[in-house]
Amino acid sequence: MNFDDTPQEAEFRAVARKWIAANAPKEFEEELSKSSLGRIRLAKHDMVEVGKAWQKKKAEGGWACLHWPKEYGGRGATPIERVIWQQEEGVYGKLTQPFQIGEGMCGPTVMAWGSEDAKRRYLPKLASGEEIWCQLFSEPSAGSDVAGLRTRAEKKGDNWVVNGQKIWTSGAHYSDYGLLIARTDPNVPKHKGLTMFFLDMKSPGVEVRPIKQANGMQEFNEVYFTDVVIPDSQRLGAVGEGWSVSLTTLMNERMSIGSRLATGVPEMFEFCSNLMLEDGLAIDDPAVRSKLASWAVKASGLKYTSYRAISALSKGERPGPENSIGKLVSGLMLQDIATYAMDLEGAAGSLTGTDEEQANGQFQQMLLSSPSMRIAGGTDEILRNIIAERVLGLPGDIRVDKDVPYNKIPTKGR
Amino acid sequence: MNFDFSDEQKQMRDEARKFLSEQCPPKAVREVLDGKAPYDKALWKGLAEMGFLGVAIPEQFGGAGAGHLELCVIAEEMGRALAPVPFSSTVYLAAEAILIAGSDAQKQKWLPKIASGDAIGTLALFEGKGNPSPKAVKVTANGGVLNGIKKPVADGAIADFAVVAARTGSSGRESDISLFIVDLKAGGVEVKSLTNIDLTRGQAEFTFKDAKAEPLGATGEGWSVITQVLDRAAVLTAFEQVGGADRALEMGRDYALDRIAFGRPIGSFQAVKHMLADMYVSATLARSNCYYGAWALSTNAGELPEAAAAARISATQAFQHCAKNNIQVHGGMGFTWEFDCHMYYRRANAVALGLGSLSYWEDALIDRMRKKNAA
């Protein structure tokens, strides 16, 4: 048992570190280090533009999507090399946020199901950040039950014509391409009538509208499709096979090893170490210490769980299912920590000004944003289902709509 | 990075699991549970023959000289099987105290007997309510004899010797405390069995009346040794707790698959599935914290105090959580004497207290994290 690199890993790390030292945009280092809790903002620069410049530089140096094959814009690196890269990239990794959906979900789906021509045309530009991709799965009436989606695609000659609406699309407003799942046959059970496509987000009939979220921000979008034409050559997988194709995407979504999940624990520890209560520092209060300790062991548990996964990768093994717990644990913890930090501030805990003493409004922001952590990318409840069914082997839910043709499933408004 | 046990260590875990599943089935645990025996003597002998009692004791003192990582994998299996033997008190506490502070002669005298199963040892630290603290130690040591009362003492009624924390000064500092070895068969110690919630592991009260005692380590360094022993035992016990948590989770999972209600396995209801998923999450977090503790223990790293506290807290929470919800998944049957659920519930809640309770370790973790942050 040790934390050391193998000689090959150490060599790879040294090369990566040297390249980053010579090429990283150091002017943003401080600002990026300070932007914690998953919210990244640059005061005087556009996040996407800065991200694109860094991604392009990485691509030129052979460090973009480095686990992809070279012919598609990658480096042909091993999974463990990818993890080492992420560790070395450090705070600059935060700049990759606009590309994560493309790199983590759309790209792998195109890689698995696209034609050779499509792969050579789209993947290198996705890898280099020149073209940004978004994912068009969720709908207003199809969230956790994504296979219940309503957006229609109808065949007209060599093309498909799409009508409908998607929602919760991160980055749709700056994306060039989208991965779209649509219903091509409403007369068969819901999982069997779906087909996967990709499309140019600038196509006529595509309208992107930002969603004003509960925390007051606008990070997600609604995307409307009105008679949008997609060539059949942009279909991924067979007609009716969209559900299987989507599983490639979603499996990649949940492979978050080495990902940078915020837990809120370092911020809370710092906060309690400095907050003066009536009887002294918060961190000297037994009740505070008890809560802090419970959160600290969850955060360290997550950290060492990811180390176990990294160790498996290092040995060339597939990591076990342990890593599926990350978002489930950290989402709820962020929310609890925010609530408790504000409790310690008393009545002033409701103030959100960034000039407020102590925590600069960060816990208030965390409180308002944390509900999304427990919903996006699989709700806490769906994640528990996944653990129960795939890890513990418990039976799936009884699905009353399993064998019913989609257009006969009772829904609100039908 | 290789943050995992080696193939040899995993093989040892498999051997221990196989041995315990044969020699320590629930039926054997119940012999002790039902008061038919104070501990499982045959199992104790068997553990000695397998080399498990002395796995971390150096070869020159009759052990296998393997190491603490090996001891961790065995500890996990002991916890999983609820082995009704004085393993933790003898191996994690008494043997570790002697390894840390003992003279060569003391090591020669006691360690081979521990490894061979011929001596049961324990640590006599507590004196009534409260957590580990030098202030709470009132038993006195004067002129080579001890006087006072210790309770609870784990496995005290079956122990042959005890490492005892006693007061040798009155300055109000930690250096007032020193350690002693007391041969419990040599007279001067009244031993009384105490009832406790875990019927598979005994607790006792010692009354020392001019009991002959031999110093263990230097005078005034007792508390520093106790702290080290508790940290090591915290990691090892955490592995027992993770073993127990995993077994309780498995029992709940198996029952949820087997039990039919409302025309379907209860494991198909989300209320049950989610309860089991949360148990898996607790057990996984605890296991990962334990691995870090194992690394720190085996390398004697400076991180051990923090790692031990984290492993202890996480594993205590996980075992309590899994044992409690295992009963809930079982419904009414889980509350019967006949089903094994309560044995895990009892163990989970007793073992949560033995080295100092959860709040003690939470407090310790925060102190240790602050120390690290300040450094």
Query: What is the tens place of the pLDDT at every residue in A58-116?
Result: 999 999 999 999 999 999 998 889 989 999 999 999 899 899 999 989 999 999 999 99
Is residue A399 situated within a structural domain?
Answer: no
B268/A395 touch (CB, cutoff 8 Å), yes or no: yes
- Structurally, chain B folds into a number of domains equal to 3
Assess whether A157 and A48 both reside in one domain.
no
Angle between helical axes of B341-351 and B304-330 (0-180°, round to 10):
150
Is residue A392 situated within a structural domain?
Answer: no
Assess whether B370 and B227 both reside in one domain.
yes
Domain that holds residue A337: 265-378
Contacts of A302 in chain B (CB under 8 A): 285, 288
Among candidates B277, B294, B362 on the partner chain, residue whose Cβ is nearest the Cβ of A388? B277
Report residue B316 as tokens.
Answer: 């205590």
Tell me the CA distances in angstroms from A296 to A39, A256, B279, one per residue in order.
Answer: 21, 21, 18
Query: What is the tens place of the pLDDT at every residue in B350-372?
Result: 999 999 999 999 999 999 999 98
Is residue B1 situated within a structural domain?
Answer: no
Distance from CA of A6 to the nearest CA of B (A): 7
Is residue A338 situated within a structural domain?
Answer: yes
Which of these three, A187, A207, A242, is where a domain ends? A242
Contacts of B3 in chain A (CB under 8 A): 1-3, 304, 307-308, 310-311
Which of these three, A111, A131, A151, is where a domain ends? A131
Among candidates B295, B298, B362 on the partner chain, residue whose Cβ is nearest the Cβ of A293? B362
Domain harbouring B348, CATH code: 1.20.140.10
Cα A288 to Cα A266: distance, rounded to the nearest angstrom: 14
- The phi, psi pair for B218, rounded to 5°, reads -75, 150
Domain harbouring B139, CATH code: 2.40.110.10
pLDDT lower than 50: segments of chain A: 258
Cα B260 to Cα B267: distance, rounded to the nearest angstrom: 9
Any bridge partners for residue B178, and if so which? B166
Assess whether B325 and B313 both reside in one domain.
yes
- The phi, psi pair for A226, rounded to 5°, reads -125, 105
Assess whether B145 and B50 both reside in one domain.
no
Domain that holds residue B110: 7-118
Test mutation, A3, A300, A328, chain B, max B CBs within 10 A: A300
Query: What is the tens place of the pLDDT at every residue in B27-69?
Result: 999 999 999 999 999 999 999 999 999 999 999 999 999 999 9
- The owner of tokens 């409004």 is A361
Assess whether A62 and A177 both reside in one domain.
no
Cα A199 to Cα A179: distance, rounded to the nearest angstrom: 7
Is residue A384 situated within a structural domain?
Answer: no
Contacts of B264 in chain A (CB under 8 A): 395, 398
Assess whether B84 and B106 both reside in one domain.
yes
- The phi, psi pair for A228, rounded to 5°, reads -80, 130
A385/B366 touch (CB, cutoff 8 Å), yes or no: no
Minimal-distance CA residue of chain A relative to B69? A1
Catalytic residues of A: 253
Assess whether B304 and B340 both reside in one domain.
yes
Cα A166 to Cα A151: distance, rounded to the nearest angstrom: 8
Cβ atoms of residues B291 and B239 within 8 Å? no
Distance from CA of A85 to the nearest CA of B (A): 14
Please return the burial class of B282, using the count of CB atoms within 10 Å of its CB with bins 0-12, 13-18 and 19+.
buried
Assess whether B337 and B352 both reside in one domain.
yes
Assess whether A93 and A157 both reside in one domain.
no
Is residue B174 situated within a structural domain?
Answer: yes
Is residue A389 situated within a structural domain?
Answer: no
Among candidates A5, A304, A391 on the partner chain, residue whose Cβ is nearest the Cβ of B292? A304
Contacts of A312 in chain B (CB under 8 A): 4
Is residue B2 situated within a structural domain?
Answer: no
Sign of CA dihedral A51, A57, A59, A64: negative
Assess whether B283 and B326 both reside in one domain.
yes
Assess whether B79 and B197 both reside in one domain.
no
Domain harbouring A294, CATH code: 1.20.140.10
Task: Sort residue A34 into left (φ over 0), alpha (ψ -120 to 50) or beta.
Answer: alpha
Is residue B326 situated within a structural domain?
Answer: yes
Cβ atoms of residues B82 and B344 within 8 Å? yes
Residue A344: the pLDDT is 94
Assess whether A217 and A303 both reside in one domain.
no
Assess whether A98 and A190 both reside in one domain.
no
Cα B256 to Cα B258: distance, rounded to the nearest angstrom: 6
Cα B107 to Cα B99: distance, rounded to the nearest angstrom: 7
- The rounded mean pLDDT for chain B is 97
Is residue A247 situated within a structural domain?
Answer: no
Residue B141: the pLDDT is 97
Is residue A253 situated within a structural domain?
Answer: no
Assess whether B214 and B234 both reside in one domain.
no
Query: What is the tens place of the pLDDT at every residue in B134-174?
Result: 999 999 999 999 999 999 999 999 999 999 999 999 999 99
Assess whether B141 and B240 both reside in one domain.
no
Q: What is the average per-residue pLDDT within B337-341?
A: 98
Which of these three, A116, A131, A146, is where a domain ends? A131
Is residue B300 situated within a structural domain?
Answer: yes
Is residue B192 situated within a structural domain?
Answer: yes
How many Cβ atoms sit within 10 Å of the Cβ of residue A237? 20
The ipTM of this complex is 0.96
Tell me the CA distances in angstroms from A363 to A14, A285, A345, A358, A369, one per residue in order.
Answer: 37, 20, 10, 10, 10
Assess whether B107 and B161 both reside in one domain.
no
Q: What is the 3-state secondary structure (H, E, C) of B263-305?
A: CEEHHHCHHHHHHHHHHHHHHHHHHHHHHHHHHHHHHCCCCHH
A296/B365 touch (CB, cutoff 8 Å), yes or no: yes
Is residue A355 situated within a structural domain?
Answer: yes
A307/B288 touch (CB, cutoff 8 Å), yes or no: yes
Distance from CA of B162 to the nearest CA of A (A): 32
Nearest to A48, CA basis, from A166, A168, A130, A135: A130
- Give A114's Cβ-side CA count (13 Å radius): 21
- Structurally, chain A folds into a number of domains equal to 3
Tell me the count of A-B CB pairs closer than 8 A.
Answer: 161
Query: What is the tens place of the pLDDT at every residue in B253-301?
Result: 999 999 999 999 999 999 999 999 999 999 999 999 999 999 999 999 9
Cα B292 to Cα A2: distance, rounded to the nearest angstrom: 10
Cα A126 to Cα A73: distance, rounded to the nearest angstrom: 8
Assess whether B180 and B89 both reside in one domain.
no
Cα B36 to Cα B344: distance, rounded to the nearest angstrom: 19
Please return the burial class of A112, using the count of CB atoms within 10 Å of its CB with bins 0-12, 13-18 and 19+.
middle
Residue A115: the pLDDT is 96
Any bridge partners for residue A163, and if so which? A152
Contacts of A392 in chain B (CB under 8 A): 249, 253, 273, 276-277, 280
Assess whether A335 and A285 both reside in one domain.
yes
